[in-house]
Amino acid sequence: MIRLTDKEFTDIVTYIKSNYGINLTHKRQLIESRMQSVLISKGFNSFTEYFDLVKQNKSDEITAMLNKLTTNHTYFYREPAHFEFLKNTILPLQERTNSRRDIRIWSAGCSSGEEAYTAIMTMMDYFGLKRTSWDYRILATDISLKAMEAAKNGLYGVESLKDIPKVWEQKYFVNQGENLFELKEDVRSQVFFKRMNLMEPFSFRQPFDLIFCRNVMIYFDQPTKNALINKFYDVLKPGGYLFIGHSETVQRDTSKFLYVEPSIYQKGSV
């Protein structure tokens, strides 16, 4: 087994925290065990050799490393209360007040796309025949190019569909056999994928009505979470919503967000 020295551990933790916000301070054993196969496959004898490669070839190697060290497990209709809130609260409000008939949604930390696609199917279902008069494409971002490539392909195992309404399976998917289902093009075409590091400055032309950032901040320390939440606040429209994971919270004393219900927060109206 290739051992992780104290200096190597400090260097890796500091670099990842500074550049990507992910806090691995208490994950020494995880780093050492999960990266073994990568080091061996590349013929390295130390973490220093591998980490030098990471710093030289940031986009590919750091993504592979972060994929190893964080969990990307997700599925369609995860945390269904959020999609019920979208259907029962946000969309009726948009119908009453949005004369432009455009809805801007951002799936931040989109992983393999199930979250963004579930939101699209929720809106397609809600608007029905009226959907052609609405523009509701979703921006889906992640640091992992591999995850987003899988999302663009729109091919999912049967386990990913276990929580969706049965009618959705027939309506929005094509059964490809061998327990694989492909999302139909009219769903996939409404999600735009872009690689993005949430630690970098945001440069959006227009604000969002809704931001999903669920089960992403579990890897960040509290000051990093607070800073990111305030950045989300700034790019939301007045009255816009932030959905976070059920194990995550927004600290009220460091944020202007209004608490709506567990894991749902709102930017106050002007």
| DSSP track, 222-256 | HHHHHHHHHHHHHTEEEEEEEEE-TT----TTS--
3-state secondary structure of 154: coil
3-state secondary structure of 198: coil
Question: Mean pLDDT for the chain?
Answer: 91
Which residue's structure tokens are 């030289």?
56
- Domains, the chain, with CATH or none: 6-69 (1.10.155.10), 80-153+190-266 (3.40.50.150)
Tens of pLDDT, residues 76-125: 999 999 999 999 999 999 999 999 999 999 999 998 899 999 999 999 99
Give the global pTM: 0.88
Phi, psi of 208 (to 5 degrees): -105, 155
Tens of pLDDT, residues 126-160: 999 888 899 998 999 998 888 888 899 999 999 99
Summarize the confidence of residues 42-49 as an average pLDDT.
Answer: 91
Q: Does the pLDDT of residue 27 top 70, yes or no? A: yes
What per-residue string of b and e applies to 54-93 under the rule 16 or more CB within 10 Å gives b?
Answer: beeeeeebbbbbbbebbeeebbbbbbeebbebbeeebbee
What per-residue string of b and e applies to 187-201 under the rule 16 or more CB within 10 Å gives b?
Answer: bbebbebeebebbee
Q: What is the pLDDT of residue 219?
A: 84
Q: What is the β-pairing status of strands 236-244 and 258-261?
A: unpaired
CA-based nearest residue to 176, from 151, 157, 149: 157
Q: Does the pLDDT of residue 51 top 80, yes or no? A: yes
Question: How far is the C-alpha of 131 from the C-alpha of 121, rounded, in Å?
Answer: 11
Summarize the confidence of residues 204-215 as an average pLDDT.
Answer: 95
Q: What is the β-pairing status of strands 173-177 and 180-183?
A: antiparallel
8 Å CB contact between 243 and 264: yes
Residue 106, CA distances (Å) to 92, 182, 252 in order: 19, 23, 23
8 Å CB contact between 266 and 252: no
CA 79 to chain centre: 13
3-state secondary structure of 267: coil
Which tokens is 102 given?
């455009």
